[in-house]
Amino acid sequence: MRVLDLGWCTRWLALASLCLASCGGGERAIHVFAASSLAPAFEQLAKEFERTHPGQRIALHCAGSPTLALQIQEGAPADVFASADEANLRKVIEARLALTEPEVFAKNRLALAVPRGNPRAIRGLEDLARADLRIGLCGPEVPAGRYARACLEKAGIHARSRSDEPNVSALVTKIAFGELDAGIVYATDVRRDDVTELPIPDECNVVASYPLVVVSTGADSEGGRAFARFALSDEGQAILARYGFLRP
């Protein structure tokens, strides 16, 4: 399995890298484009798929859903697109690049993330209004950023984001390094040792749905269909559940 993270590359470098990965060595891979919050779970999903499908290889590319949707629209070779929201998946469908109907394969909840040990003694969402805290969110164009702002609105809290990040991985990294005091991310993103999770009450939380489609810009649509089926299978769902995702 080849894992590609091109979130920091330019669009054209991303496209060139993916084309080289697709053509290099004469070996064809199933190119799976997945939202960055899916990365750890999809790495395991890809390993199990390769183990149970001898001769097939997954090239996994993780980045923010808007970035992935744009790359696919610009011709990046993708066989599967797994988005963190319907809106970005819809862009690919409207561009007539989807070969299948969208299917929700997982759901997720939001959590409040703080550096390990909670050094600023943050108690919950209400503290995000404190002027002395460095709060970070994903950008409003990113699904996690849109969900976070909806959560804050439901809670009636005004919090100024000092750093709008392009994806949840970048946001969690800044929180872990202490560059930010807190941020709202997915619950699956705080299952690590260098950050601490503060739960968000159900009445303020937002449940995110993750849909996927098989995409026509890649070279292995049948492989893409096989991977999509695997993600929706009992075995695939069990893997996603181990990483904290909810069943659709």
Give per-residue pLDDT as tens, 169-208: 999 999 999 999 999 999 999 999 999 999 999 999 999 9
Q: Same domain for 65 and 183?
A: no
Q: Locate tokens 């699904």: which residue?
A: 143
Q: Which domain holds residue 7?
A: 2-107+210-242
- Segment 123-149 shows an average pLDDT of 96
Q: Which residues contact 103 (CB under 8 A, 6 or more apart)?
A: 211, 212, 213, 228, 232, 248
* pLDDT tens-place string over residues 32-69: 999 999 999 999 999 999 999 999 999 999 999 999 99
Query: Would you say residue 16 lies in a domain?
Result: yes
Say if 203 falls within a structural domain: no
Residues 10 and 100 in one domain: yes
Q: Are the beta carbons of 180 and 136 closer than 8 angstroms?
A: yes
What's residue 20's pLDDT? 42
12 and 71, same domain (yes or no)? yes
In the sheet that 195-198 helps form, which strands lie side by side, from edge to edge? 161-165, 135-138, 182-186, 110-115, 195-198
Indicate whether 7 belongs to any domain. yes
Q: Would residue 135 count as lying in a domain? A: yes
Statement to judge: residues 45 and 69 lie in one domain: yes
Q: Is the pLDDT of residue 23 over 80?
A: no
* Selection from 89, 44, 93 nearest residue 65 by Cα: 89
Same domain, 230 and 179: no
Residue 1's pLDDT is 55
**CATH classification at residue 175:** 3.40.190.10
Mean pLDDT of the chain: 91
Verify that 214 and 103 share a domain, yes or no: yes
What pLDDT is stored for residue 13 in this prediction?
41
Residue 173 shares a structural domain with residue 162: yes
Six-digit token pair at 111? 């959590």
Ranges 12-16, 56-60, 211-215: which has the least confidence = 12-16
Query: Tens digit of pLDDT for each residue in 83-107?
Result: 999 999 999 999 999 999 999 999 9
Number of domains in the chain: 2
β-pair type (80-82, 30-35): parallel
Give the separation between CA 32 and CA 77, rounded to whole angstroms: 9
Indicate whether 117 and 92 sit together in one domain: no
Q: Is 156 exposed, middle or buried (0-12, 13-18, 19+ CB in 10 A)?
A: exposed
The answer to whether residue 205 is domain-embedded is no
Q: What is the mean pLDDT of residues 139-161?
A: 96
Residues 114 and 103 in one domain: no
Per the domain annotation, does 204 fall within a domain? no
219 falls within a domain: yes
Q: Could you tell me if residue 247 is inside a domain?
A: no
Percent of the chain with pLDDT over 70: 89
In sequence order, what E strands does 84-124 have?
103-108, 110-115
The reply to whether 71 and 90 lie within a common domain is yes
Contact 86, 116 (CB under 8 A): no
Does the pLDDT at position 2 exceed 90?
A: no
| Whole-number pLDDT of residue 108 | 97
**Residue 117 and residue 101 share a domain:** no
**pTM summary value:** 0.85
What are the backbone dihedrals phi and psi of residue 157, each rounded to the nearest 5 degrees, phi first? -115, 130
Same domain, 101 and 125: no
The pLDDT confidence band at residue 28, using thresholds 50, 70 and 90, is: confident
